[in-house]
């Protein structure tokens, strides 16, 4: 049975006539929204997942403008970006922990909005992600969901990724090619399977490169999924980087403002992956040595998600 304390931890939509959650009212007023603007207000209370704790956040969504009001210890911090300037859309879920992350070009350069929330409310936030992604599909009628017979072959390798791939695709778009890497396991530890390289699905549409990654936090007992959607027009390069210490390759996707998205790759599949990438763009898939640190959304060789 659900208790009131549990429900209070869920994200929710705030109606304009409702009392504002503390302490966001003044920061909301400072956004200077006109009387004709009726923003969507999404509130995510402060949460604790294990050792990680997130701050309370209020998203204010009006047209292409998105503002994140973040209630930190020193006061509310406001971050604003335009959804049509977003070059990286990410959402993920591990058990009851979920998040939405957008990276774009704002007035001061690289701008990141990240909201952590209880997974029961993730669907409230997905329309924001879909709106940001739709800018890459100008002139195409888009909606969400629907079965994709092109993905049915995945059922022979990992049936979960049929549904995960469908969740990644906006309907009305053309799935041009796909590549799948099954999970690679290591020597069992304490009787449990150890995931050495998580499963990875790459999808290419006419306007996006999409990564659907298995994510293992704290061992195989906490499996989750992270989706990353990258407009093709924003990708500055894709390289396969050697990581000898981890016994894997890194798929590194370079984005504007020195951003980078990474995924771990089994070296045994490097040739097929390079061919797949070069079908999309002949410049993609070049081998590289290990580079220096970059501002990446997710380190595939670390167990914990980014803060």
How do the domains of the chain map onto residue ranges? 40-135, 148-184+195-296
Let me know if the fold of 40-135 is the same as that of 148-184+195-296. Answer: yes
**φ, ψ for residue 195 (rounded to 5)?**
-90, 115
Residue 304 pLDDT level (bands cut at 50, 70, 90): very low
User: d(Cα 1, Cα 229) in Å, to the nearest integer?
Assistant: 37
Cβ atoms of residues 152 and 179 within 8 Å: no
User: d(Cα 37, Cα 290) in Å, to the nearest integer?
Assistant: 48
Q: What pLDDT was estimated at residue 139?
A: 75
Classify residue 190 as left (phi > 0), alpha (psi -120 to 50) or beta. left
3-state SS string over 2-51? CCHHHHHCCCEEECCCCCCCCCCHHHHHCCCCCCCCCCEEEEECCEEECC
Q: What pLDDT was estimated at residue 189?
A: 64
Please give the class, per CATH, of domain 40-135.
mainly beta
Selected residue with higher pLDDT from 155 and 143: 155
Q: What pLDDT was estimated at residue 50?
A: 64
Residue 188 pLDDT level (bands cut at 50, 70, 90): low
Q: What pLDDT was estimated at residue 30?
A: 94
Please give the class, per CATH, of domain 148-184+195-296.
mainly beta
Residue 235 pLDDT level (bands cut at 50, 70, 90): very high
On the question of pLDDT at 306 being above 60, the answer is: no
On the question of pLDDT at 153 being above 60, the answer is: yes
Average pLDDT over residues 155-168: 94
In percent, how much of the chain has pLDDT > 70? Answer: 83
Q: What pLDDT was estimated at residue 307?
A: 35
Average pLDDT over residues 104-131: 92
Q: Among 42, 57, 73, 69, which residue's Cα sits nearest to residue 116? A: 57
Q: What is the pTM of this model?
A: 0.89
Q: Among 18, 113, 5, which residue's Cα sits nearest to residue 57? A: 113
Q: What pLDDT was estimated at residue 282?
A: 95
In percent, how much of the chain has pLDDT > 90? Answer: 62
**Alpha-carbon distances of 104 from 15, 67, 85, 255, rounded to whole Å:** 27, 12, 5, 10
On the question of pLDDT at 279 being above 60, the answer is: yes
Q: What is the pLDDT of residues 191-229, one digit of tens each?
A: 667 788 999 999 999 999 999 999 865 555 457 999 999
Q: What pLDDT was estimated at residue 143?
A: 60
Number of helices (H), then strands (E), in the chain: 5, 23
Instruction: Provide the mean pLDDT of the chain.
Output: 86
């Amino acid at each position: 049975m659900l208790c009131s304390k549990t429900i209070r931890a869920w994200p929710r939509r705030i109606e304009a006539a409702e009392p504002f959650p503390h302490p966001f009212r003044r920061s909301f007023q400072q956004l200077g929204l006109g009387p004709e603007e009726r923003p969507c207000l999404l509130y995510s209370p402060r949460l604790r997942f294990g050792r990680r704790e997130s701050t309370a956040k209020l998203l204010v969504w009006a047209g292409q403008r998105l503002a994140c009001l973040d209630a930190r210890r020193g006061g509310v911090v406001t971050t604003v970006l335009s959804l049509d300037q977003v070059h990286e859309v990410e959402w993920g879920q591990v058990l009851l922990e979920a998040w939405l992350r957008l990276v774009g070009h704002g007035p001061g350069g690289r701008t990141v909005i990240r909201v952590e929330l209880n997974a029961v409310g993730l669907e409230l936030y997905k329309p924001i992600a879909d709106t940001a992604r739709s800018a890459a599909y100008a002139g195409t009628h888009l909606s969400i969901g629907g079965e994709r017979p092109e993905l049915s072959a995945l059922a022979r390798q990992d049936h979960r990724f049929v549904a995960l791939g469908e969740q990644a695709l906006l309907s009305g778009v053309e799935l041009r090619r796909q590549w799948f890497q099954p999970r690679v396991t290591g020597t069992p530890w304490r009787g449990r399977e150890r995931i050495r390289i998580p499963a990875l699905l790459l999808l290419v549409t006419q306007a996006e490169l999409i990564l659907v990654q298995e994510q293992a936090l704290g061992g195989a007992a906490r499996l989750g999924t992270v989706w990353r959607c990258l407009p093709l027009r924003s990708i500055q390069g894709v390289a396969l980087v050697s990581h000898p210490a981890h016994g894997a390759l890194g798929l590194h996707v370079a984005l504007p403002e020195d951003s980078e998205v990474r995924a771990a790759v089994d070296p045994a599949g490097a040739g097929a992956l390079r061919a797949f990438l070069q079908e999309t763009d002949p410049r993609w898939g070049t081998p590289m040595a290990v580079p220096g640190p970059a501002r990446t959304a997710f380190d595939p060789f670390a167990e914990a998600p980014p803060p």
